[in-house]
Amino acid sequence: MASLYVSEIEAATKGFGILLIFVFILYKFLINKKPSRPDNQLKLPPGPRPWPLVGNLHQLGHLPHQSLAELAKKYGNIVFLRLGSVPTVVISSPAMAKEFLKTHDSVFASRPPVSAAKYLFYDHRDVTFARYGEYWRQMRKLCTVELLTAKRVDSFRSVREEEASAMIHSIWEQSGQGLNCVDLKKNLSCLTRNITCRMFSSRTYSDDDLGGGHVFKEMVDEMFTLAGAFCINDYIPWLSCLDLQGIRRRLQAVHKIYDAFAEKVIEEHVKGRKKPYQVEDQVKDMVDVLLDMAELDTQTPTEMQITRVHIKAIILDMLNAGIETSSTTVEWAMSEVLGNPHILARAQQEIESVVGRDRKVKEDDVASFDYLRCIVKETFRLHPPFPLLIPHESMEGCNVGDYYVPPKTRVFINVWAMGRDGSIWEDPYEFNPERFMGKGNSKDVRGQDFDLLPFGTGRRGCPGILMGLSVVELALAQLLHCFHWSVEGKVNMDEIFGLTVPRKFPLLARPASKLPFQYLI
């Protein structure tokens, strides 16, 4: 998948040499000016001195989460930066994360304005990027009360199991029945894409489902790439008219494609609603649930009327949050397990002791896989889906600990750095699922323990935690139970940066049958 990295900043700023001469005069008064604050407020957090125009952008490098972790070692667990003209705070400890996401959660519950939210997500009309306020509260309530409840997530259990079985069959066929290596990322992305689509639309989508020759997978990949792209316009706003990186143009282009796709999905459902369900207790997909609510609103008006824009924005959130995050997590888990044969053997032994070799794993079985669930937690620790979470923004000035955070400050929570902090974790760079074994070592990944926050927490915590965990645990269990795995040489663990942090190179591994053939076809 194509990605836009922070290295594009360097290319975008090469032509600024002449401008820097003029900007330097303004620098003393604008860029480098300390934010004003009342006399009774505390000092700003420490941080490196910014450059003219670009601020501290040049210090982010190709892997910002790693660069920011290094800055934290020098300046502390709360660092103040200027990214272009945007005041920014980076948090790298559980104690400070608790201050921002719990103690002062109401102050930092908003999202900053970014190009992706404006041009792709219907001008902040989705849940993920919506600014904090009544609109966001209604949209969040819609998701948590109607779409992502435990009951509804469980209602799609058969979908997850069917698609996981289809993935196993596909892997076996692609490998020539165990003769060749397969690209696990490709198969895992297909798995999560199909599950997500069936949840909101009761069907999967192939290359022929979009007009104009556009492929569904390419559309999804482009949306996810652009949602995580580092857009210089977001940090140096007066350059936005130039669109130096071409991101705005690409956002508008893919939004047009997506909008046509979403309209098609909604129209299919509207037409289908005129026909009776073939099965009386058929599970309704999420678009049908939303259309039910929209019809109810016309009869009994509520606080927020559900429109097509709302439905399209929610579908878009599901596509972006439900596909890449889960597939990337499982691929990292497999990478770590295949690099540690003793962990692989223990996990397979645990699964076989519960399931045996005469069937595949069912979702009900996962609750008995204590060690496998520890593998998932350890994967989240070392490879969180969003290494900096989705950025927050302060709605007013606030004293946090010993420091003052100005209004409209962008806040990054570096959970990647927290997962590698030696003051929190013993042997932090070692992949060791055993650290989570036993009652005294149990950690919760759902936002209760601030040293392990893969899904965030507080008001802006991910509402789809239960769904994400269900997909990750089932997919990993199926891969480990159905096959013996081998790789050539040492597993490369290099990563690249985006909205998530996937592997730099695909994980190629060769499966060998562990179950009787009839369970693989």
- Known binding-site residue numbers for heme: 462
CA dihedral over 45, 49, 55, 58, signed as positive or negative = negative
Instruction: Extract long-range pairs of 301-307: CB within 8 Å, 24+ residues apart.
Output: 303/138, 304/135, 304/138, 304/139, 304/142, 306/142
Rounded to whole angstroms, the Cα distance separating 197 from 181 reads 28
Rounded to whole angstroms, the Cα distance separating 512 from 175 reads 9
* Contact present, 96 and 104 (Cβ < 8 Å): no
* Contact present, 88 and 67 (Cβ < 8 Å): no
* Contact present, 9 and 62 (Cβ < 8 Å): no
Strand order in the sheet with 78-83: 78-83, 86-91, 410-413, 392-393
What does each C-alpha distance from 360 to 144, 198, 351 come to in angstroms? 31, 21, 10
- Residue 89 pairs in a beta bridge with 80, 411
Rounded to whole angstroms, the Cα distance separating 132 from 101 reads 14
> φ, ψ for residue 159 (rounded to 5)?
-60, -45
CA dihedral over 467, 468, 470, 471, signed as positive or negative = positive
**Which residues, 6 or more positions from 295, have their beta carbon under 8 angstroms from its beta carbon?**
none
Which residues carry a binding-site annotation?
A: 462
- Residue 79 pairs in a beta bridge with 90
Angle at CA of residue 501, ends 472 and 508, nearest 5°: 65
Structure tokens at 231: 């857009």
Straight-line distance from the first to the last Cα atom of the chain, in angstroms, rounded to the nearest whole number: 29
Residue 43 three-state SS? strand
Strands (E), 275-353: none
* Contact present, 495 and 503 (Cβ < 8 Å): yes
Rounded to whole angstroms, the Cα distance separating 332 from 185 reads 10
